[in-house]
Amino acid sequence: MFSLKNKTAVITGAASGIGKAVALVFSKQEAIVHLLDMNADALAAAVEEIKRSGADAIAHQLDVTSQSAVKTVFEKISKVDILINCAGISHIGKADTTSEEDFDRVYKVNVKGMYNCLHEAIPGMKKNKQGVIVNMASIANHVGLEDRFAYSMSKGAVVGMSLSVARDYLHDGIRCNSVSPARVHTSFVDNFLAKNYPGKEQEMFDKLSRSQPIGRMAKPEEVAHLILYLCSDEASFITGCDYPIDGGFLKLNN
């Protein structure tokens, strides 16, 4: 079950966090994996980790905000069966404390960067009459999170784009869904705590973990396994859906 043998998967934001976990899981399921990320060193390390597991992967250093750069990379890859849009950044701020520069930066990566990849991947999928797309959203598009104005804006846009793609290419054999995690324990969390709560990292980590009713943050590979299912033939009847993976955050918080 859940085999991706002979499928070509393109994963953005693949050098760390959820994107890297997806790359590792997909490679184990025998997909041909292309890792796209800006961080060349982390990208090389991720590819090396995949190769140590006995699989193979191809790295592409890429800034997803540049449509011309995205076009060049996708032309090199040629055939795309699966597109996983994980590249994204976060931001802390309210509407009146978010600068125009920061708002534009979040939009360019989280919204325009995703659009750029969709723009380049979909024509080939249409031609082949098949394709699967999973876009990384967030619980921030479902609820009001404090100090997450620009980030929530961007993730709401992700869900809207996902629904549009699912509807527009329904008869081209293309499925599109989004995934909305709650807090996931990645290096981003550790770096955020170290920067903003020096000396209180563990205390704040425990507090953030308890905000999920299940009592902990998700592991990146847990999100990756959900994405694997959505990209597999076993999920061939699923399109136009957003999947919270949130430890009970949306329904069980009182």
Q: What secondary structure letter does DSSP report for 29?
A: T
Q: Are residues 165 and 197 in the same domain?
A: no
Total of domains in the chain: 2
Strand-pair category, 57-61 with 131-136: unpaired
Q: pLDDT tens for residues 197-207? A: 899 999 999 99
**Mean pLDDT value of segment 177-184:** 97
Q: Are residues 84 and 139 in the same domain?
A: yes
Q: Are residues 206 and 86 in the same domain?
A: no
The answer to whether 87 touches 116, Cβ cutoff 8 Å, is no
Q: Are residues 67 and 143 in the same domain?
A: yes
Instruction: Write down the H helix ranges in 96-186.
Output: 100-107, 113-128, 149-168
**Mean pLDDT value of segment 247-252:** 95
Q: pLDDT tens for residues 75-109? A: 999 899 999 999 999 999 999 999 999 999 999 99
- The percentage of the chain sitting over the pLDDT mark of 70, rounded to a whole number, equals 100
In whole numbers, what is the pLDDT of the chain averaged over residues? Answer: 96
Is 197 tagged catalytic?
no
Q: Are residues 150 and 209 in the same domain?
A: no
Q: How are strands ordered across the β-sheet holding 57-61?
A: 57-61, 32-37, 8-12, 82-85, 131-136, 174-181, 242-245
251, part of any domain: no
Distances, alpha carbon 211 to alpha carbons 8, 180, 216, 217, 254, in Å = 37, 16, 8, 9, 11
Examine the pLDDT at 253 and tell me if it is beyond 90. no
Question: What integer pLDDT is reported at residue 78 of this predicted model?
Answer: 87
**191 falls in which pLDDT band (50, 70, 90)?**
confident
Q: Are residues 59 and 171 in the same domain?
A: yes
Catalytic residue among 107, 151, 169, 229: 151
Q: Are residues 126 and 35 in the same domain?
A: yes
Q: Are residues 192 and 123 in the same domain?
A: no
Global pTM value: 0.96
Distance CA 223, CA 238 (A): 17
Distance CA 165, CA 170 (A): 8
87, part of any domain: yes
Q: For residue 213, give its domain range.
A: 184-217
198, part of any domain: yes
Q: What secondary structure letter does DSSP report for 86?
A: -
Question: What integer pLDDT is reported at residue 139 of this predicted model?
Answer: 96
Q: What is the CATH number of the domain that holds 106?
A: 3.40.50.720
